[in-house]
Amino acid sequence: GAGVSQTPSNKVTEKGKYVELRCDPISGHTALYWYRQSLGQGPEFLIYFQGTGAADDSGLPNDRFFAVRPEGSVSTLKIQRTERGDSAVYLCASSLMGTDNEQFFGPGTRLTVL
Amino acid sequence: GNSVTQMEGPVTLSEEAFLTINCTYTATGYPSLFWYVQYPGEGLQLLLKATKADDKGSNKGFEATYRKETTSFHLEKGSVQVSDSAVYFCALLLSYNTDKLIFGTGTRLQVFP
C-alpha cells in the first residue's frame, strides 16, 4: 500500500522567496506531523494536526512558517521570506489516531536556500 | 525539559560483532520510548518501541529494555550484519504532550564485512 509521500523531494530556492512543501499521509490517518531535520541532527517537531486543526504548533520557529490541512488529509507547509538557516530536510509523518500510535514517516523534502 | 541523549557515532563494527548504542532520556511523566532507523536513501522507520518501565522492545534481532531507574533505553544486537549499516535514532513520546516525538541526534552505524 502507499506510504506517506512528500513533494517535491528536493527544492532549491533563493533567500527571500516563498516555498510550499506538500505531504500526502497514509489514507485514513487522522494525525499528521511535520518535523525538520538539520544536517547531523535528529528530527525536531514543528506542528501536529488532528484532522483539519493544528492541535500543537509550538515547534514552528517563527511566524514565517505556517501549515494547513484544509480537508484533513493533504497538508502543506508554507515558508515565507526563506532564510539560509531554513535549509534542512522537512519530514512529514502520519498516524492512525495519534496518542502512542506508530508514526509513519515520508522520505522528506530537502530544502536548500541559497 | 524533555530530551534524549545518544552516544555519538560513527560506530564502526565488523560483521557478527555485538552492538550497543546508548540512549538516555530526561522526561516529565512517563514517556514511551522508540528506536527509529534510517537506511541510506530511505525514510525513517520504526525499529522497536517500549511503552512502560521494564518492557523490552525487539525486532530484527535488535532489543532495547526500558529502564526507568537509569532512564535508559540502550539498543543492542548480538550479531550485526552489513545490512544493519544505517543511522539509528532514539526518541521519546509523551502522550499528554500531543504525541510529538523528541529525538536524539542519531548514531551512525557502519558494519564492514
Q: Write out pLDDT tens, residues A8-67.
A: 999 999 999 999 999 999 998 999 999 999 998 999 999 999 989 898 999 999 999 999
Q: Which helix (H) or strand (E) holds B4?
A: strand B3-6
Predicted confidence at residue A99, as pLDDT, reads 57
Closest by alpha carbon to A40, among B102, B25, B19, B107? B107
Give SS3 for B42: coil
Contact, B15 vs B103, CB < 8 A? no
Task: Decide: residue B22, CB within 10 A, 0-12 exposed, 13-18 middle, 19+ buried.
Answer: middle
CB proximity B3 to A under 8 Å: no
Contact, B109 vs B11, CB < 8 A? yes
Nearest CA in chain A to B4: A42
Secondary structure (H, E, C), chain A = CCCCEEECCEEEECCCCCEEEEEECCCCCCEEEEEEECCCCCCEEEEEEECCEEEECCCCCCCCEEEECCCCCCEEEEECCCCHHHCEEEEEEEECCCCCCCCEECCCEEEEEC
* Mutate which: B98, B103, B105, vs A, most A CBs within 10 A: B98
Peptide bond into B10 cis (omega under 30): yes
pLDDT digits (tens, 9 = 90+) for A63-96: 999 999 999 999 999 999 999 999 999 999 999 8
Average pLDDT per block of 10 residues along chain B, 113 residues long: 90 97 92 94 92 94 96 97 97 78 96 96
Handedness of CA A90, B59, B86, B64 (dihedral sign): positive
Single-letter code of the amino acid located at B95: S
Select the residue of B45, B101, B105 nearest A41 (Cβ to Cβ): B105
Of chain A, the end-to-end C-alpha distance in Å amounts to: 36
CB proximity A110 to B under 8 Å: no
